Amino acid sequence: GMVRHYKFNIVQKNTTRLCSTKPIVTVNGKFPGPTLYAREDDTVLVKVVNHVQYNVTIHWHGIRQLRTGWADGPAYITQCPIQPGQNYVYNFTVTGQRGTLLWHAHILWLRATVHGAIVVLPKRGVPYPFPTPHREVVVVLGEWWKSDVEAVINAATKSGRASNVSDAHTINGLPGPTPTCPSEEGFKLKVEKGKTYMLRVINAALNEELFFKVAGHQLTVVEVDAVYTKPFNTDTVLIAPGQTTNVLLSAERTSGRYLVTVSTFMDTPIVPIDNVTATATVNYGGTLSSGGAPPLLASKPPPQNATSVATGFMNGLRSLNTRAFPCNVPQAVDHSLLFTVGLGVNPCAACPNGSRVVAAVNNVTFAMPTVALLQAHFFNVSGVFTADFPGQPPARYNYTGPPASMNMQTTTGTKLYRLGYNETVQVVLQDTGIIATESHPVHLHGFNFFVVGSGIGNFDPKKDAVKFNLVDPAERNTVGVPTGGWTAIRFRADNPGVWFLHCHLELHTTWGLKMAFLVDDGKGPNQSLLPPPKDLPAC
């Protein structure tokens, strides 16, 4: 592959949305930030220069970072932050990957405005496994807050309760016309009858799974998280924060405008979801007359609690599984893990209620270290983490049953789960009903995993495991654990390093719904992680 150079200047920029202006942190002054283009097997060098007063890191979400964990980006996991006035060159190779991914800040809540698309094209001359679209369009979904986003999380942290939701969703940075700001224009996609468009849809929102819908058109899903899928027709796409979905849109109409909607999917909200649905339009060319806009066909977005729409979408996804793109789901498992993911309540003397909401995996609320775990591992610094993360919940209980029966308090620690190089792993992610059952889009750094099964209620190893799909399960890097249910994933630990696993709802990550895998059993040459780059930031 070739070498591509990018420069990301982290700068404040006054930006107007919902008819008001505020300074936001951006890359190169853009919201969303610039698209990073590469081809499969290219090497990418991104020089990040920090011109703002916050510490910054950037994560290349879904890029495997084979042996280059130093370039992964989560603050205090693989690197110390880039401090104000400092810079760092992220240097990685996109080995054996092609498709749509995203990059985003991975510290505090900066990714609210510091995010953008990664488009990895196939190797030159290698076609898509579907008819070549006439045009490709990046569609980044996000959120907009009228107030300062860091202030929102600080207030939530102080109160020990949930944060306010954003004020609006955005499509390529634009909410579109809203009741309080009807004059604002939304994103417009101009199409021509008979042509096919590939939309590279990315959910960069902080805290909401989203429904994406185009009135009057079916969408054909062909890829999720930069892995091809069996083509799958749907009128609504479900996309969780951190996920990407490529869809084909055939322009089969002759004229008119068609409303695109982006709305929340949350079946059991713990705070009211009152942010505005983002809208865009698909416009057929040649119909714009001087006498005004052509007619608009709108369709209602699914209700916020449309669980069946969400489940139907997720269950429809399958790996392509052809000779060129086989599905390498591990058939046998070396580590069989059960991770409960959910909320808890811990005492908090300084909080108004005397308690704070926390989140945990297997009852462990992850404590962020003050030096990077990968450095501590590589240089053998003791006292930073322990490698005793529990592979099973501390006790068996009715995970999705009434909260009264559960231990709501969690323990706190910086615990890692150690895996040997190339071992196979199964993790059943089990939602809990402590405080409330909620959906958790869980993201694993450093790997793709196979979603071999999913269900409602408590995972039953006898009944459920026999139904796993070990032929063509969807392969991805982020998966929604259904509300009050479970999802089983499998992966091969073929990438040495320290790899974060966390809920991609930023609120839940902040509360501690995170842990990390340490891949290194000290046995053999394949263990070797490349040495850290010279400009790796220090803490």
Binding residues for ligand C2O, rule: CB under 6 A, are 59, 61, 74, 104, 106, 242, 443, 445, 500, 502, 504
> Smaller CB distance to ligand C2O: residue 59 or 415?
59
Q: Specify burial of residue 247 (Cβ count, 10 A radius: 0-12, 13-18, 19+).
A: buried
**Shortest distance, CB of residue 287 to ligand C2O, whole angstroms?**
39
As a 3-state breakdown, the chain gives helix, strand, coil percent values, each rounded to 5, of 10, 40, 50
Cα(82)–Cα(467) distance, rounded to whole angstroms? Answer: 46
Q: Helix (H, G, I), strand (E, B), or coil: what is residue 533?
A: coil
> Smaller CB distance to ligand C2O: residue 288 or 367?
367
> Smaller CB distance to ligand C2O: residue 284 or 339?
339
Tokens at residue 167, please? 């004020």
**Shortest distance, CB of residue 145 to ligand C2O, whole angstroms?**
19
Cα(340)–Cα(501) distance, rounded to whole angstroms? Answer: 13
**Shortest distance, CB of residue 509 to ligand C2O, whole angstroms?**
8
Tokens at residue 479, please? 């998966």
The answer to whether the CB of 126 falls within 8 A of the CB of 109 is no
The answer to whether the CB of 336 falls within 8 A of the CB of 426 is yes
Question: Which helix or strand (DSSP H or E) is residue 531 part of?
Answer: none
252 CB neighbour count, 10 Å cutoff: 13
285 CB neighbour count, 10 Å cutoff: 12
> Smaller CB distance to ligand C2O: residue 149 or 249?
149
> Smaller CB distance to ligand C2O: residue 260 or 505?
505
**Shortest distance, CB of residue 71 to ligand C2O, whole angstroms?**
14
**Shortest distance, CB of residue 79 to ligand C2O, whole angstroms?**
13
> Smaller CB distance to ligand C2O: residue 59 or 490?
59
Cα(224)–Cα(63) distance, rounded to whole angstroms? Answer: 14
**Shortest distance, CB of residue 502 to ligand C2O, whole angstroms?**
6
**Shortest distance, CB of residue 169 to ligand C2O, whole angstroms?**
18
Amino acid at 224: V
> Smaller CB distance to ligand C2O: residue 169 or 445?
445
Closest by CA position to 60, among listed 500, 520, 488? 500
Residue 150 per-residue DSSP state: H
> Smaller CB distance to ligand C2O: residue 71 or 306?
71
> Smaller CB distance to ligand C2O: residue 217 or 504?
504
Tokens at residue 396, please? 């068996």
**Shortest distance, CB of residue 73 to ligand C2O, whole angstroms?**
8
> Smaller CB distance to ligand C2O: residue 257 or 415?
415
Residue 303 per-residue DSSP state: P
523 Cβ neighbours under 8 A, 6+ residues apart: 420, 421
Q: How many residues does the chain have?
A: 539
Residue 55 per-residue DSSP state: -
> Smaller CB distance to ligand C2O: residue 227 or 276?
227
**Shortest distance, CB of residue 104 to ligand C2O, whole angstroms?**
6
Residue 42 per-residue DSSP state: -
**Shortest distance, CB of residue 503 to ligand C2O, whole angstroms?**
10
**Shortest distance, CB of residue 504 to ligand C2O, whole angstroms?**
6
**Shortest distance, CB of residue 118 to ligand C2O, whole angstroms?**
11
Closest by CA position to 360, among listed 399, 401, 386? 399
Residue appearing with tokens 């942290």: 157
Cα(282)–Cα(513) distance, rounded to whole angstroms? Answer: 38
Cα(385)–Cα(367) distance, rounded to whole angstroms? Answer: 10
Amino acid at 533: P
Residue nearest to ligand C2O (CB): 61
Dihedral sign for Cα atoms in the order 328, 329, 330, 331: negative
Tokens at residue 399, please? 């995970």
> Smaller CB distance to ligand C2O: residue 443 or 492?
443
